[in-house]
């Protein structure tokens, strides 16, 4: 097991010396730990187990007590979650695993596509069912809207909306159990972006009610994802010390389709009516290099990719709105 150098979440003391040019850095930083090439051979996205994640990364990066609860409060006897967060330099991918305990497990997902009036292969209805989670990623943390639909792009043609939607940031969805084998989706129209080598997902369920589920994924964040032009698309560059934007969200479905929600990691989502349309709702994720002392990231301005020419303008992320309160930790079945 690799020794973890910092415990999540990382507070502002870690990046307190960051200059104003990095205005996108928030009050709380969450670490993604680097996975080495040999680690990828030990992590199986389809084994329905987190033993491999525990072996490689150790204790979870996040627990259910780290999240906000828009519709209820944290009750580990009702539903509990643990997340592992990682990244891989060579492939430019982000890796996430969720282990979940659910006292009433409800999942009838069969690969249905939500009719949105737009060309899409990847807006599945998995968000209605247990064992699902959403993973929002803004790879360069540049901010701005990334979810485009007919009612928020006035005057846009279907072709324009399809091109803009999920282009500069992406909203991924994953689910542990499905009848059609489609464990991964996202809110865009690209067929190639949800396939290897860019993305993959898997999972499984142990028990019926109560049940323990495991949902695992890897995805490639894109600064410019052109849904019908793989060659012209630009993946986000990942390197130690980089701060990306991300967020997580899931539901606990005790009834038929919708029930309690868990997430996000920042209460700003609540003021945005739970619509992930703009990347300012993301929080800050720090890419920690394997075996590195995180104190070297105290000044993020000193960390640049070797190919960066310094010409990219700084982020103009709007100020973060405050509100809500974090859930209260309680006893957990894990």
Q: Where residue 57 sits, what CATH number does that domain have?
A: 2.60.40.1190
More confident residue, 214 or 331: 214
Give the C-alpha distances (Å, rounded to integers) separating 229 from 167, 218, 302. 12, 21, 34
Per DSSP, the residues of 169-195 read SEEEEEES--SSS--EEESS--SSTTS
Report helix, strand or coil for 248: strand
Count of CB atoms situated within 10 Å of the CB of 271: 12
What lies within 8 Å, CB to CB, of 181 at 6+ separation is none
Asked if residue 97 is part of any domain, the answer here is: yes
Structurally, the chain folds into a number of domains equal to: 1
| Residue 332 pLDDT > 50 | no
Determine which of 239-248, 263-272, 315-324 has the lowest per-residue pLDDT on average.
315-324
For 5-54, how does the pLDDT look when each residue is reduced to its tens digit (9 = 90+)? Answer: 444 444 333 443 333 333 344 568 899 999 999 999 999 999 999 999 99
Does the predicted model carry a pTM greater than 0.85? no
- Nearest-angstrom CA–CA distance, 51 and 41: 14
Closest Cα to residue 126, out of 80, 184, 40, 171? 184
More confident residue, 120 or 203: 203
User: Quick one: what percent of the chain has pLDDT higher than 90?
Assistant: 35
State the pLDDT at residue 193: 94
State the pLDDT at residue 207: 83
State the pLDDT at residue 33: 95
Asked if residue 16 is part of any domain, the answer here is: no
State the pLDDT at residue 105: 72
Report helix, strand or coil for 311: coil
8 A C-beta contact, residue 57 and residue 4: yes
Asked if residue 7 is part of any domain, the answer here is: no
8 A C-beta contact, residue 101 and residue 212: yes
- Nearest-angstrom CA–CA distance, 106 and 315: 41
Closest Cα to residue 248, out of 9, 5, 6, 1? 9
Which structure tokens are listed for 260?
Answer: 């309690």
- Nearest-angstrom CA–CA distance, 322 and 325: 9
Asked if residue 142 is part of any domain, the answer here is: yes
| Residue 253 pLDDT > 60 | yes
| Residue 123 pLDDT > 90 | no
State the pLDDT at residue 225: 95
Asked if residue 318 is part of any domain, the answer here is: no
Find the domain containing 179 and state its range. 26-293
Asked if residue 310 is part of any domain, the answer here is: no
Asked if residue 333 is part of any domain, the answer here is: no
Asked if residue 21 is part of any domain, the answer here is: no
Q: Give the phi and the psi of residue 97 in degrees, each rounded to 5.
A: -130, 140
DSSP lists the bridge partners of residue 86 as 33, 95
- Nearest-angstrom CA–CA distance, 142 and 169: 9
Pairing state between β 283-288 and 184-186: unpaired
């Amino acid at each position: 097991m690799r020794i973890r150098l910092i415990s999540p979440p990382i507070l502002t003391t870690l990046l307190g010396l960051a200059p104003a040019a990095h205005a996108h850095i928030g009050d709380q930083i969450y670490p993604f730990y680097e996975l080495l090439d040999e680690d990828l051979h030990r992590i199986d996205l389809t084994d329905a187990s987190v033993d491999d994640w525990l072996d490689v990364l150790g204790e979870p990066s996040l627990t259910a007590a780290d999240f906000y609860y828009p519709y209820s409060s944290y009750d580990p006897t009702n539903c509990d979650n643990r997340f592992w967060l990682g990244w891989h330099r060579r492939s430019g991918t982000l890796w996430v695993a969720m282990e979940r305990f659910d006292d009433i497990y409800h999942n009838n997902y069969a690969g249905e596509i939500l009719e949105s009036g737009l060309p899409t292969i990847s807006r599945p209805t998995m968000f209605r069912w247990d064992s699902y989670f959403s993973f929002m990623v803004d790879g360069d943390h540049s901010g701005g809207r990334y979810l485009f639909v007919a009612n928020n792009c006035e005057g846009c043609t279907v072709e324009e909306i399809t091109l803009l939607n999920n282009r500069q940031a992406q909203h991924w969805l994953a689910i542990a159990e499905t009848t059609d084998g489609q464990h991964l989706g996202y809110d865009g129209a690209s067929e190639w972006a949800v396939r290897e080598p860019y993305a993959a997902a898997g999972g499984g369920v142990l028990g019926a009610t109560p049940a323990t589920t495991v949902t695992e994924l890897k995805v490639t964040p894109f600064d410019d994802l052109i849904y019908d032009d793989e060659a012209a698309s630009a993946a986000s560059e990942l390197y130690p010390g980089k701060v990306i934007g991300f967020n997580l969200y899931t539901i606990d479905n005790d009834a038929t389709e919708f029930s309690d929600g868990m997430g996000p990691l920042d209460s700003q989502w609540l003021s945005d009516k739970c619509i992930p349309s703009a990347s300012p709702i993301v929080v800050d994720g720090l890419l920690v290099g394997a075996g590195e002392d995180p104190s070297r990231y105290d000044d993020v301005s000193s960390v640049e990719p070797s190919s960066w020419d310094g010409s990219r303008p700084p982020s103009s992320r709007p100020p973060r709105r405050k509100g809500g309160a974090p859930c209260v930790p309680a006893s957990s079945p894990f």
